Amino acid sequence: MELLDGPLDQTASERELVRLIEHQERHGFSFWAVMDRESGLLAGECGLYLLEGRGPEVELGYSFGARWWGHGYAVEAARAALGEAFGPLGLERVIAITRPENHRSQRVLERLGFTATGTRLAYGHRQRAYELPRSQG
């Protein structure tokens, strides 16, 4: 999923929602909203997506508002997404990428059991790459 650098305007938000809905309909997975149970507010998003929108690899991704960082939302949501990946979707492997400076995300991936596999170019940036095979998920 392309990394976003801030809030989207209404038109861009609508385009993004259409893109995610189409991906879900076409592939059976996408990014899903993550709601804060207590407040009912949108905390962020998490899910599975074809790497760079074309695959063939499937990546785990998540993004949360700063207010929800450090409260376990990313781990909990990612575990649910991985349950779908290795359960009903029957995937053999899921990858994840982060920017090298995103140490919080790297800790989340390691907590989930992902293994660092080096770096790769994705979404126009040099990224740290991780993978989680089905047998470890």
Identify whether 69 is part of a domain.
yes
**Is 90 a domain residue?**
yes
What pLDDT, in 10s, does the model give residues 74-113? 999 999 999 999 999 999 999 999 999 999 999 999 999 9
Grade residue 15 by pLDDT with cuts at 50, 70 and 90: confident
What's the mean pLDDT when you consider all of the chain?
Answer: 88
Could you read off the pLDDT of 80-89 as tens digits, one per residue? 999 999 999 9
- Look at residue 62 and tell me if it is in a domain: yes
Residue 64 in any domain: the answer is yes
In this structure, the number of other CB atoms found within 10 A of the CB of residue 5 comes to 5
Identity at 93, one-letter amino acid code: R
Write out pLDDT tens, residues 18-48. Answer: 888 888 889 989 998 899 888 888 899 999 9
Query: How many domains, in total, are found in the chain?
Result: 1
Is residue 110 in some structural domain? yes
Q: Residue 22: inside a domain, yes or no?
A: yes
Give pLDDT, residue 75. Answer: 95
Q: Is residue 2 part of a domain?
A: no
Q: Would you call 82 exposed, middle or buried from its count of C-beta atoms within 10 A (0-12, 13-18, 19+)?
A: buried
Distance CA 7, CA 3 (A): 12
pTM: 0.85
**Containing structural domain, residue 42:** 10-136
CATH (domain of 50): 3.40.630.30
Residue 6 has pLDDT above 90, yes or no: no
Q: What is the torsional sign of CA 63, 85, 103, 77?
A: positive
Q: Is residue 4 part of a domain?
A: no
